[in-house]
Amino acid sequence: MKAFIGFILGLVVGVAAHAFLTQTSSRPATAGAREGTTDVRQTIKETFEPATIKDELAKTGKVIREKARKAGEVVADATANARTTASIKTKLVEDRGLSAFKIDVDTTDGVVTLSGTVGSYEEIDRAIKLALETDGVYRVISTLQVKNK
């Protein structure tokens, strides 16, 4: 008799858990993220001018740019972080004006950190743009330093 009651109780809890986990909301969690991907150029909050980058780097030692959407909308895991990093590194390699081997890329939950050395402030600008235009990235922090040749 106890086994039968335990079975019924387990069945009821299982059905309730299944109903709770499979219920659909009126607005999916990814809807906000999809709305923000229409045009990357329209979602960038700040300009990308070498003079601005130079001033910001001189004042704070880093340059931060982010897309105009909430950080909480990006849900990432270790695999997504690795994919994002690999995608950015590929873009850096394809850009002949940038030395991908001197730029380190680290990604954590949609936040990309660029570090290393480049030849000019224009290269910092290009590296930030390439990273920010990558799917899943909403913020780029650059600690890239200009090193004269």
Percentage with pLDDT > 70 across the chain: 68
Is 16 inside any structural domain? no
Parent domain of 139: 39-146
Place 126 in a pLDDT band, splitting at 50, 70 and 90. very high
Of 18-27, 59-68, 95-104, 136-145, which range is least confident?
18-27
Number of structural domains the chain divides into: 1
Between 23 and 64, residue with greater pLDDT: 64
Structure tokens at 146: 């200009």
**CB–CB of 117/146 below 8 Å?**
yes
Residue pair 111/65 in contact (Cβ under 8 Å)? The answer is no
Is 3 within the bounds of a domain?
no
* Average pLDDT of the chain, as a whole number: 76
